[in-house]
């Protein structure tokens, strides 16, 4: 199963700062700060308004993340319980290990640009000991990954990567 969503519309907190003003990333309480994004954010907007704007394809396609500012993202949520590896939907807890069949949860952000190859901004997996019994069956240790299966970026030298 998978779920795709625009990055800016799914965050609990989004903050953009000049490097000298960036908050400590380990700080528990980072405030929403989107004025540096400009455009509709220039005078400051609420979290709900930011989510609405960034969920709109027409408005969000005009936005971009530059390389000069420091961006701090936070997903404060209480549905995915990583310590138990369950999805808590209120009336029951769904065991993720069983439903993911030995595969870890995967989180990533991908930059998609018209006419250009997509690029990953980040990609990471959330593992739990409950996955280990089935994990070896899914991707045996030392298994060869065919690089051509992931051929979506013309900038990669696949011969060198293999």
CA distance 41 to 59: 11
In sequence order, the β-bridge partners of residue 71 are: 16
Q: What is the pLDDT of residue 16?
A: 92
Quick one: which of 3, 16, 6, 12 has its CA closest to 55?
6
pTM, two decimals, is: 0.57
Please check whether residue 130 is in contact with residue 86, taking contact to mean a CB–CB distance below 8 angstroms: no
Distance (Å, whole) CA 127 – CA 135: 10
Q: What pLDDT was estimated at residue 2?
A: 56
pLDDT in tens, the chain (162 residues): 556 667 777 788 889 999 999 998 888 888 999 999 998 999 999 999 999 998 888 888 788 788 899 988 887 777 888 889 998 888 999 888 888 878 888 888 777 778 888 888 778 888 889 888 776 666 655 656 555 554 444 444 434 433
**Measured torsion, CA atoms of residues 83, 108, 66, 58, in degrees rounded to the nearest 10:** -110
Q: In this predicted structure, what is the pLDDT of residue 96?
A: 87
Q: What is the pLDDT of residue 45?
A: 93
pLDDT of residue 161: 39
């Amino acid at each position: 199963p998978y779920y795709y969503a625009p990055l800016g519309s799914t965050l609990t907190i989004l903050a953009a700062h000049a490097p000298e003003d960036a908050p400590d990333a380990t700080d528990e309480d980072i405030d929403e700060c989107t004025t540096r994004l400009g455009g509709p954010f220039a005078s400051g907007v609420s979290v709900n308004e930011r989510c609405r704007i960034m969920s709109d394809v027409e408005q969000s396609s005009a936005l971009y993340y530059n390389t000069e500012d420091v961006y701090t993202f936070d997903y404060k949520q209480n549905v995915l319980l990583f310590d138990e590896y369950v999805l808590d939907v209120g009336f029951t807890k769904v065991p993720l290990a069983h439903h993911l069949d030995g595969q870890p949860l995967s989180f990533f952000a991908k930059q998609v640009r018209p006419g250009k190859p997509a690029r990953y901004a980040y990609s990471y997996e959330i593992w739990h000991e409950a996955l280990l019994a089935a994990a070896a069956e899914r991707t045996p240790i030392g298994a060869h990954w065919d690089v051509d299966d992931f051929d979506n970026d013309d900038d990669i030298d696949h011969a060198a990567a293999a």
